[in-house]
Structure 1
Amino acid sequence: MRQLLVEAPAKLNLGLEITGIRSDGFHELKSIFSTVSLSDSLTVSVDPGVSGIKLQCSGVASPDNKTNLVWMAAEAFLKAAGISENTAVTVSLHKNIPSPGGLGGGSSDAAAVLLALQKLTETRIDLASLGESLGSDVPFFLLQTETAFVTGRGEILEPVKLPDFHCVLVHSGENIPTPLAYKLWDDNAGDLTEACRISNYTARKFGAWHEGKPFPVKLDNQFLPLLRSRYRGIDLAAEELSRLTVNWGLSGSGPVLYALFRSGEEAKDAEEYLAGKFPWVLRCQSR
């Protein structure tokens, strides 16, 4: 038996704009994805000569069956590589990333499994296409870059550089399935204002961030006004974050919100201020 211990990082959406719906039903988007130090841990093992998939989960609640993207990724890899009948896969997943959260945890886990299995089996297959079939965020995590400008349904990726940051993540307790958030957008897209359009990531000089200027990316997210008007917890979290900094936003389709800070000390102060107000508050930083 061969095994690898791998990390699956969370990501933040530094701004998110939906530009339309494709003919295949997926939404076109523009966003900047940036990984942070929060991550899940996975031990991936392969055992030649036998078959089957086994998934063990700990930490944040996660299904240990075929509905988990980890299982789907392992199953898809074995099939694509043509080794389903003579290779068994066991994955031990310790989950730290809340789900749903808008942090890409499930997609990151899936990408980590695909990359680990490629190394363990020494099999070369098209992971990009495989990842895209599993989920729109998986291609970003397969790229293994810290930050990227993302378009299409999430498969068009341009690595970019941004200044380092510290951040505080806030989960207000609502459970907002991703399909529900997109349904809200479908029903209300005409009411969104121009203020929800994200700017090009080169709009501001990076150095100005550490000189006290706003973060060099516009952090508006088109899901935020839709969710604030329907979920009191998200509205309260947004109010609290706006008191601390102008550099805050919603990640993905939520419900996790974030605030960005220049120093760890600023982030620590914010974490202590928010800790008693919401069910889950975590301080982390860019990778």
Structure 2
Amino acid sequence: MKSITLNCPAKINLSLDILGKRSDGYHEIDTIMQTISLEDVIRIEKSNEFSLEVKGGDIPLDDRNIALKAAKLMFDTYKIGGGLSVYIEKNIPVAAGLAGGSTDAAGVIEGINTLYCLNLCKKDLMDIAAMIGSDVPFLMEKGTALCKGRGEIVTPLKSMSGHLVLIAKPPISVSTKEVFNNLKLEKIKKRPNNDILLDCIDDNNIDLLSKNLVNVLETVTIPMHRVIEDIKNIMNEFGALGSIMSGSGPTVFGIFKDKSIDDCYNYLKGDFDEVYIATMK
């Protein structure tokens, strides 16, 4: 085998709580993540040197790209000779709170393990993933999961696949670092109740789950960009069971049950380019 192609899904946060800042500079999180059918496509091929090509999306093509960083870490750690050609078809919006870079890195790790017949165990793969980024371990796991620590402690949950999700990213950029730096933990009045969400997931109760979506980072990002709240309100007016910002933003997602998702999609497409209908998977 000389090459391998993989689909790399975006993630959304069904809940996101920040518990405090750790001694290593990261924040302690408590979040439930869910992969969706909006996906990048990556192809990796054995080569004599490292190279990166991207179609769609304005992302770094040098060592700042975490997919390339993941490839080089895998090669260094497991003494793989030569290089790797990485091609990424970007379908996931960039800098959106959907972990588009992290999922590409996870795909590269998974692809190298297969392409070079490394036969690494899950723990080894997750350890590499955690070295690359906080969301990467979950993107190795995929599906529905409770994530703690800085994101590297991943507990798989019962699948919520099939539920409809509308994704809308306004044309603004949000700095994750700036959002976390401006988060005032003592001023957060409403936090996620993950016990309720875990029961909802266990019972596949999408209605009650959707009524309990909470992301504490909204307390920072929405005052900076009111359009996020506007999108949430539009989704709710069109019949979303619930809507929330994903990650540090600015992307908003709404959970729908019926064809009202099409009406909301058409309405939002009149104002925003990056609007997508997806399913949980």
TM-score normalised by L of structure 1: 0.90
1:226 matches 2:213: no
1:256 matches 2:254: no
1:191 matches 2:191: no
- The share of aligned pairs that are identical, in percent, is 28
Q: Distance in 2 between matches of 1:239 and 1:208?
A: 22
Q: Which residue of 2 aligns with 1:82?
A: 79
Q: Per the alignment, do residues 128 and 275 of structure 1 end up closer, same or farther by CA in structure 2, a change over 3 Å counting?
A: same
Unaligned runs of 5+ in 2: none
Corresponding pairs, count: 274
Q: Distance in 2 between matches of 1:199 and 1:129?
A: 26
Q: Which residue of 2 aligns with 1:65?
A: 62
Q: Distance in 2 between matches of 1:202 and 1:72?
A: 34
Q: Which residue of 1 aligns with 2:171?
A: 173
Amino acid at match of 1:60: G
Question: C-alpha displacement at 1:76, in angstroms?
Answer: 0.5
Q: Distance in 2 between matches of 1:7 and 1:107?
A: 13
Q: Describe the SS at the equivalent of 1:181.
A: helix
Amino acid at match of 1:32: I
TM-score normalised by L of structure 2: 0.92
Give yes or no for contact 1:14–1:34 (8 Å, CA) kept in 2: yes
Equivalent of residue 275 in structure 1, options 256, 269, 273:
269
Q: Which residue of 2 aligns with 1:32?
A: 32
Q: Distance in 1 between matches of 2:78 and 2:267?
A: 50
Question: C-alpha displacement at 1:256, in angstroms?
Answer: 0.4
Give yes or no for contact 2:37–2:278 (8 Å, CA) kept in 1: yes
Q: Describe the SS at the equivalent of 1:148.
A: strand
Q: Distance in 2 between matches of 1:216 and 1:258?
A: 11
Question: C-alpha displacement at 1:217, in angstroms?
Answer: 7.0
Q: Which residue of 2 aligns with 1:202?
A: 198
Give yes or no for contact 1:17–1:31 (8 Å, CA) kept in 2: yes
Amino acid at match of 1:169: I
Q: Select between 159-168 and 222-231 the one with higher mean Cα deviation.
A: 159-168
Give yes or no for contact 1:57–1:63 (8 Å, CA) kept in 2: no
Amino acid at match of 2:15: G
Q: Describe the SS at the equivalent of 2:224.
A: coil
Q: Distance in 2 between matches of 1:217 and 1:199?
A: 12
**1:99-141: per-residue Cα shift (whole Å, max 9, x none)?**
2111111110001001101111112452211110100001111
Segments ≥4 residues shifted beyond 4 Å = none
Q: Distance in 2 between matches of 1:124 and 1:81?
A: 11
Q: Describe the SS at the equivalent of 1:238.
A: helix
1:94 matches 2:95: no
Question: C-alpha displacement at 1:283, in angstroms?
Answer: 0.9
Query: Equivalent residues in 2 for 1:103-122 (5 A)?
Result: 103-122=98-117
Q: Describe the SS at the equivalent of 2:68.
A: helix
Q: Per the alignment, do residues 58 and 223 of structure 1 end up closer, same or farther by CA in structure 2, a change over 3 Å counting?
A: same
Q: Distance in 2 between matches of 1:140 and 1:207?
A: 20
Q: Describe the SS at the equivalent of 1:90.
A: strand
Q: Describe the SS at the equivalent of 2:95.
A: coil
